[in-house]
Amino acid sequence: MIVPADPLLAVDSPAVTRRSVVRGYEVAVSARRLVKRYKDGTEANRGINIDLRRGEVIAILGPNGAGKTTFLRQVTTELRPSSGRITVFGVDTVRDPERARQMMGIAPQEAGLFESLRVRDHLELFARLKGLSRRAAAAAAAKTMEDLDLVADANRRVRTLSAGQRRRILLGLALVGHPPLLVLDEPTTGLDPAARRAMWNILRRAVGNGASVILSTHYMEEAERLSDRIGIISTGRLIAFGTLAELTACLDCRYRLTFHDSSDPSADLCVERYATFGELQAEIARRRLSEYSIAGATLEDVYLELVGERFPDEAAQGERR
């Protein structure tokens, strides 16, 4: 008989099964030729191919309605692909969805909480649903509350919590039990900048402890600072995928000049892009600019060139994606 590393877990528990499955795979999620077609003929995803490596963070960007949430809902088995294949640590999500879900912690874009339950109750309940024993669930809930700075709120009813605290609980439900895969749909939406950065630190610790993460986001900074690779989905297709350096290297114009138009001091800042630094310098000399700023290409530049529109702001986040 194999003795599990955690003495609080039963040998045949889902948590132990997860460990044995995960050890043999370097790819956490693999999607191949993924298509999701609805009854009205709409193709929300069209031939998506993507791999999430073990221990990696991937951020998915795209305009509203691009198919980001549809893609994540297929990974979590909530939606069944029309064609194509998804595996989670080698487990086919269509053939064996329950086994695949056992290896995931999921934070959906929209999810209700039990208003009358305490914070501790939520975390213990979900830990039990993930296959942990009663004792292990209590220990996992305590550790998750500590990680999320919710210890002081452990016995508070959910109905008394702020929106930011509720978002932390949703993330905690995904994190509890240390699943090897986290699938997070806009996990920091609605949080202030300080709370958002605290969430990033929590996710970094989870990755440091062996988790792999795939998330969608409406924050450029989040994608740039948190992820190893970035995917951009537009009209259902994965139109770009790679590291930030790889994405910016593909741009035709890799330098950005920002300045005030001296002929109209009240006008907004002018932003122009150039393929080479020499071209940029020549323009500065031609305009005889004395005040300006120069920057290399950013993720926003990549997004604007590929998608043809600026990155959506928070005001648009409530729309269906």
Give the residue ranges of DSSP H helices in the chain.
14-22, 68-75, 97-101, 119-129, 134-147, 163-175, 193-208, 220-226, 244-249, 277-287, 299-307
Count Cα neighbours of 160 within 13 Å in the Cβ-side half-sphere: 9
Q: Measured between alpha carbons, how far apart are the two ends of the chain, in Å? A: 48
User: Does the pLDDT at position 211 exceed 80?
Assistant: yes
Residue 13's region, left for phi above 0, alpha for psi from -120 to 50, else beta, is beta
Q: Are 111 and 172 in contact (CB under 8 A)?
A: no
Q: How far is CA 257 from CA 269, 301, 319, in A?
A: 10, 12, 33
Q: Which residues make up the CATH 3.40.50.300 domain(s) of the chain?
A: 14-242
**Looking at domain 14-242, does it have CATH number 3.40.50.300?**
yes
β-strand 181-185 against 212-216: which pairing, if any?
A: parallel
Query: Which residue pairs from 39-44 have beta carbons closer than 8 angstroms and sit at least 24 positions apart in sequence?
Result: 43/236, 44/70, 44/236
User: Does the pLDDT at position 103 exceed 70?
Assistant: yes
| Mean pLDDT, rounded, of the chain | 86
β-strand 91-92 against 104-107: which pairing, if any?
A: unpaired
Q: Minimum mean pLDDT among 103-107, 198-202, 255-259, 263-267: which range? A: 263-267
User: Does the pLDDT at position 110 exceed 80?
Assistant: no
160-206 pLDDT, tens digit per residue, is 988 888 888 889 999 998 899 999 999 988 788 888 888 899 899 99
Spatial distance between the Cα atoms of 321 and 193, rounded to a whole number of angstroms: 23
59-87 pLDDT, tens digit per residue, is 999 998 999 999 999 999 999 999 999 99
Percentage of residues in the chain with pLDDT exceeding 90?
59
Give residue 21's pLDDT band: very low, low, confident or very high (50, 70, 90): low
